[in-house]
Structure 1
């Protein structure tokens, strides 16, 4: 089953933000600029996921927070809201805060457990977002 045909794009993509990227294309039928931005994001995200797994194995909360922050920014620039939100949770948890960043947790084990669960969720959100974007660009 094609994920892109079964999801609501608005759950994963902020069209206002994404359209700002699309407006930079010189040719609206080819969409070379926006495609290259999205493809670069795929590479960044997949590389960052590998780094997150390594940081999780090393129990490096500071690195996890930094990686969450990095991928949060990249996904926000494209309007990938679910990926952005999950990455923000990783950023906060890596800083020993709750998922919202409002309360100190001071429990490394609990933070690492929650980060592991959130990494699994963000990978699923990423896969759905990627499927949707690939469907969008293939339908041009």
Structure 2
């Protein structure tokens, strides 16, 4: 059976659902020499998850310290990395962290209440950690890595 996705070079890629933008991620996979030797994409993805874990530790510390500026900066940083790889759910949660760190709601309206900002960031941080763990598990399976 013909799949329209085959035109875009990611017919052998599993469906990561709304976690991954297949168009963006397939471009990353195209940088590999071959599907059997994912010398470019696999280390890139593995490094992202290591970077995400380190960033979550910093975010937890900043949230505990109620440091909105640091939270915004860290959210922006991880949003950029996840966006580059097409990791949509992670990107979206990091956008929320960045926005509320700047005392702005998701739609850009000012949010003057620090407590509300910290609560929204805390919720987004919990969500992004779950989404990251789910995606990391799926990526390990995709790349044939075992724990």
TM-score with structure 2 setting the length? 0.86
**1:69-109 CA-partner distances (Å, limit 9, x unpaired):** 00000001111100000000000000000123x20011101
Stretches of structure 1 that go unaligned for 5 or more consecutive residues are 1-7
| Residue pair 1:90, 1:99 contacting (<8 A) in 2 also | no
* Coordinate RMSD, CA, aligned: 1.5
Distance in 2 separating the partners of 1:73 and 1:10:
20
Structure 1 or 2: more helix by fraction = 1
Stretches of structure 2 that go unaligned for 5 or more consecutive residues are 1-14
Equivalent in the alignment of 1:33: 40
Q: Is 1:75 aligned to 2:75, yes or no?
A: no
Bigger relative contact order (CA 8 A; separation at least 6): 1
Query: How many residues are treated as equivalent by the alignment?
Result: 132
Equivalent in the alignment of 1:121: 127
Equivalent in the alignment of 1:4: none
Distance in 1 separating the partners of 2:106 and 2:71:
13
Distance in 1 separating the partners of 2:136 and 2:35:
20
Equivalent in the alignment of 1:44: 51
TM-score with structure 1 setting the length? 0.90
Q: Is 1:93 aligned to 2:100, yes or no?
A: yes
Using the TM superposition, give the Cα deviation of residue 27 of structure 1 relative to its aligned residue in structure 2, in angstroms: 2.6
Using the TM superposition, give the Cα deviation of residue 41 of structure 1 relative to its aligned residue in structure 2, in angstroms: 0.2
